[in-house]
């Protein structure tokens, strides 16, 4: 009696590549050992294969498929099984029929013996199910898939699938930037129903220095002397976000890029950065607030001398501008990530070394203006360098600066 030693059937490997859209491999290699009466056989044999959803009984899912004139040596053989595996991940069993070759075609069932038990397929040939993942599968950030239509691996950022190419950045197929303050219209391309959006609000302007005296020469404190100017506060950074918005092919979207806040004059705060937005008609879809301007400088009394240098009097710092809030989405679409801008740095009054050369705790001689804050930072964001940053606060030798304008990047595949 012929029997198959299933205990040593260990290797399943893919043989044929994927041949069509969403198709599975149409064959795989099966290795086994065939005994008769406990003795390994040698000769030429015909084999028939069928797939079942159960270990016994039931109707065949696929097959029978034939393999004619297979050489068997000391019981061992390897054969390409001409079956297309099902696209579900359910358990599958392989039923094998065999006979010594008689010259008949494998399609002639005469003399075939059904081997028992059926063989449960190992995971390796079932790995081809991965090619059947629908292209509309959820786009989870970091997910990977094989695209059988384009025959490439792709990664998801949470919005779109991008081709994976070794050593190169993954970018959308289509990118359009809006970086100049003003109003712009864009027509949604044909066949596009979803567009990705990176958006940044404008930065606040830096505050101007105080109206009083410049800092004394380094090496003196001028303890108690009034009227020395502080630096202005730095402007706040604009909010930053990434979204997808549902669109209609051919519709018009209006892009409004906000101006950066203008710098403050002497003792005056910087102006706030304007909102950057995307509208559909009169309805705002996405809005990114701008940062506030830094505070205007004030005049202060110089600190007293101490063993640590010049003490900094209370009230000598000027606040930086508050941050633009995280952008928001209205209407149909989804949020990928969103972050508020950053707070502008404070401006400070002078703090100089003593005449005796004792070091101050912090040397600000002359006074310093606050640094402008960067826009909100998003790990998934496309590079939008310089947009939405707050302006520098003014000091005695430097003027305050304007905030950076807003920016929008649209992208789609």
Best CA proximity match to 83, nearest among 100, 60, 113? 60
Rounded Cα distance, 255 and 252, in Å? 10
One-letter-per-residue 3-state SS of 112-167? CEECCCCEECCHHHHHHHHHHCCCCCCCCCCCEEEECCCCEEEEECCCCEEECCCC
| CA neighbor of 203 nearest in space, from 398, 376, 382 | 376
C-alpha–C-alpha distance, residues 249 and 257, integer Å: 23
Query: According to the model, what pLDDT value does residue 245 have?
Result: 92
pLDDT at 376: 65
Q: Which mean pLDDT values do the consecutive 10-residue runs of the chain (413 residues) have?
A: 42 32 57 82 88 85 84 84 66 86 83 85 51 54 76 76 67 85 94 90 93 74 80 91 91 95 94 95 93 91 65 72 90 84 87 59 73 67 65 86 92 86
Please give the pLDDT value at position 16: 32
Q: Any residues with CB less than 8 A from the CB of 279 and at least 6 apart, and which?
A: 253, 254, 256, 285
Enumerate the β-bridge partners of residue 335.
243
The confidence score (pLDDT) of residue 362 equals 63
Residue 382, token pair as written in the block: 């496309």
10 alpha carbon, distance to own chain's centre: 40
pLDDT at position 170 is 61
Sheet with 283-288, side-by-side order of all strands:
182-187, 252-257, 276-280, 283-288, 328-329
Q: CB-based contacts of 190: which residues, under 8 Å, 6+ apart?
A: 249, 250
- The strand pairing partners of 31, in sequence order, are 78
What is the pLDDT, as a whole number, of residue 285?
Answer: 93
| Cα–Cα distance for residue pair 293/316, rounded to 1 Å | 18
Distance CA 204, CA 375 (A): 10
Report the alpha-carbon distance of residue 360 to residue 260 in Å, rounded.
Answer: 36
Q: Which two tokens stand for residue 223?
A: 């303890």
């Amino acid at each position: 009696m012929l029997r198959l030693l299933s205990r040593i059937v260990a290797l399943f490997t893919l043989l044929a590549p994927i041949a069509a859209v969403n198709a599975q491999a149409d064959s795989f290699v099966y290795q086994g050992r065939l005994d008769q009466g406990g003795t390994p056989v040698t000769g030429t044999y015909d084999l028939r294969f069928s797939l079942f959803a159960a270990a016994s009984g039931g109707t065949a899912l696929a097959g029978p498929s034939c393999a004619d004139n297979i050489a068997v040596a000391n019981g061992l053989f390897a054969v390409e099984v001409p079956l297309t595996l099902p696209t579900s991940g359910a358990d599958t069993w392989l039923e094998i029929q065999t006979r010594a070759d008689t010259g008949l075609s494998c399609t002639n069932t005469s003399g075939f013996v059904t081997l028992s038990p059926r063989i449960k397929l190992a995971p390796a040939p079932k790995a081809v199910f991965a090619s059947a993942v629908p292209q509309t599968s959820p786009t989870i950030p970091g997910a990977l898939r094989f695209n059988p239509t384009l025959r490439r691996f792709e990664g998801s950022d949470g919005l779109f699938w991008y081709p994976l190419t070794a050593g190169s950045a993954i970018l959308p197929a289509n990118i359009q930037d809006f970086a100049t303050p003003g109003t712009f219209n864009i027509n949604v391309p044909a066949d596009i129903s979803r567009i990705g959006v990176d958006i940044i609000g404008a930065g606040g302007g830096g505050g101007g220095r105080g109206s009083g005296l410049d800092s004394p020469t380094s090496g003196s404190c001028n303890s108690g002397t009034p009227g020395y100017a502080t630096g202005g506060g730095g402007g706040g950074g604009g909010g930053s976000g990434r979204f997808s918005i549902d669109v209609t092919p051919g519709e018009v979207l209006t892009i409004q890029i906000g101006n950066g806040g203008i710098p403050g004059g002497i003792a005056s705060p910087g102006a706030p950065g304007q909102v950057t937005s995307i509208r559909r008609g009169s309805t705002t879809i996405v809005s990114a607030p701008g940062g506030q301007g830094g505070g205007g400088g004030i005049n202060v009394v110089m600190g007293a001398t101490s063993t640590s240098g010049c003490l900094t009097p209370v009230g000598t710092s000027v606040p930086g501008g508050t941050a633009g809030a995280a952008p928001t989405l209205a209407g149909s679409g989804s949020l990928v990530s969103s972050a508020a801008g950053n707070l502008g740095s404070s401006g400070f009054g002078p703090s100089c070394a003593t005449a005796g050369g004792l070091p101050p705790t912090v040397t600000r001689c002359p006074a310093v203006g606050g640094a402008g804050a960067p826009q909100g930072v998003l790990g998934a964001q496309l590079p939008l360098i310089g947009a939405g940053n707050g302006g520098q606060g003014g000091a005695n030798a430097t003027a305050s600066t304007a905030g950076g304008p807003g920016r929008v990047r649209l992208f789609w595949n």
